[in-house]
Amino acid sequence: MNRIPKTIVLIATIAILFLMSPLIGLLQRMPWSGLTNLLGSDIILDAFLLSLFVSFSAALVVFIFGIPIAWVLARSNFSFMKLLRSVVLLPMVLPPVVGGTALLFAFGRQGFLGKWLNDWFGLTLPFTTAGSVVAAVFVSFPFFIVAVESAFRSINEDLERTAETLGASSSKIFLKITLPRIFPSILAGLALSWARALGEFGATITFAGNMPGETQTLPLAIFLALETNPEAALALSLVMIVTSLAILVPFRDQWLPSR
């Protein structure tokens, strides 16, 4: 291994300390003695299960729709693709609350699409778990697309062309050549967007509302508890940290490109 310059080590240490300190603060204030009581409460259990459901559903939706979008973005040369890419990445920079409001304008009962959904199918997304998933999908989409699009781009197109000259169908090429080669990036994208969906707060509370067992995910429960029951908020935060570590750490090798 190369020797790392001392200055680099110093700067990295400062950054790590900075990133660690809120976590330490959280753990330091944690009401360890009353933790079992707090964690056993229905509100926390509901929020935890709901958060798992919402974040994994969002990751699934993002996976299904994200791959085609990323593929189109990576492979089309139309000039409006640049514009399309900015639109797709917009949720990354948009404050989530604004995103939630925008979702209301689209899928809310008075939204231009929501109105139609409501009139024709009697379907309302706000105030339902499906609405929470929609909010989570919206904010986590770009993370998946960025990861997968760059993977699509990194594939040498001659590889696919070679497969074509061998007589393979485009679906065979996609499934046997393209997908396996970007698989690590797909996992990385999934991990990132899942994590983003788990932590989602602003768009969810704005679009889906706050209802225990239905739309009250862990971050919403934490926010509410922060004002009314700070100890419960800390316990909930611990649940979130442990959950995300439990999911992300075992798969670290998969979503971080190996050396």
Partner 1 sequence: MTMLELNGSLDLEHFTLKVKLEIKKNETVCLLGPNGSGKSTILKLIGGLNKLTAGDLRINTKVIDSGKTFIHSRFRNVGWVPQNQMLFDHLTVKQNIEFSPNSSKKEVSKLIELFDLQHIQNKKAGNCSGGESQRVAISRAIASKPQVLLLDEPSTGLDEKSKQIIYQYLKTQRGVATLLVTHDPVEAASLSQRLIILEKGEITQVGTPDEIKTSPATPYSASLVGLNFVPALANGLVAVTDKGVELILSESIQGQVNIVIPPKSIALYKEKPVGSPRNVLMAKILEIHHFGENVRINLDGQLNFIAEITNNAFEVLNLHKGDEVWAAFKATELITTPT
Partner 2 sequence: MWLSNARKALNKTFSILVIFCLASFGCSKEEKEINVYAASSLTEAISAVIKNYEEIYEVKTKVVFAGSNHLAAQLRDGADADVFITANAALIEDLDFQEILEGFAYNSLIAVKPVEFVNKIFEPNDLNRDENLIAICSEGVPCGDTTKAKFGNVKADTYEMSVKAVLARVASMEVDLGIVYLTDLQNEPKVTAAWPQEITCPCVSYAAASKGGEGNDFIDFLDSDTAEEIFSKYGFSL
Q: Return residues touching partner 1 (CB under 8 A).
A: 156, 158-159, 161-170, 172, 176-177, 180-181
Instruction: CB nearer to partner 1: give 160 or 214.
Output: 160
Give yes or no for residue 211 binding partner 2 (CB under 8 A): yes
What's the closest the beta carbon of residue 230 comes to partner 2, in angstroms?
Answer: 7
Q: Residue 166 CB: number of other CB atoms within 10 A?
A: 9
Q: Which residues of 131-164 are buried (b: 16+ CB within 10 A; e: fewer)?
A: bbbbbbbbbbbbbbbbbbbebbeeeeeeebeebe
Site string for partner 2, 111-130 (x = CB under 8 A): -------------x-xx---
Instruction: CB nearer to partner 1: give 117 or 168.
Output: 168
What's the closest the beta carbon of residue 156 comes to partner 1, in angstroms?
Answer: 7
Instruction: CB nearer to partner 1: give 4 or 166.
Output: 166
Give yes or no for residue 258 binding partner 2 (CB under 8 A): no
Using CB under 8 A, which residues numbered 15 to 44 contact partner 2?
A: none
Instruction: Count the residues of the shown chain that bind partner 2, applying the rule CB under 8 A.
Output: 22
| Residues in CB range of 199: below 8 A, 6 or more apart | 219, 240, 244
Name the DSSP class of 94. S
Q: Which residues of 85-118 are buried (b: 16+ CB within 10 A; e: fewer)?
A: beebbebeebebeebbbbbbebbbeebeebeebb
Give yes or no for residue 223 binding partner 2 (CB under 8 A): yes
Binding segment (CB under 8 A) for partner 2, from list 75-83, 102-110, 176-184, 238-246: 102-110
- For 119, 219, 235, 237, the CA distances from 23, given in Å and listed in that order, are 47, 16, 13, 10
| Residues in CB range of 231: below 8 A, 6 or more apart | 31, 34, 38
Block residue for tokens 């490109």: 257
Instruction: CB nearer to partner 1: give 23 or 175.
Output: 175
Instruction: CB nearer to partner 1: give 21 or 169.
Output: 169
Instruction: CB nearer to partner 1: give 122 or 167.
Output: 167
Rg (CA), the chain: 21
Contacting positions for partner 2 (CB under 8 A): 104, 108-110, 124, 126-127, 205, 208-212, 215-216, 223-224, 226-230
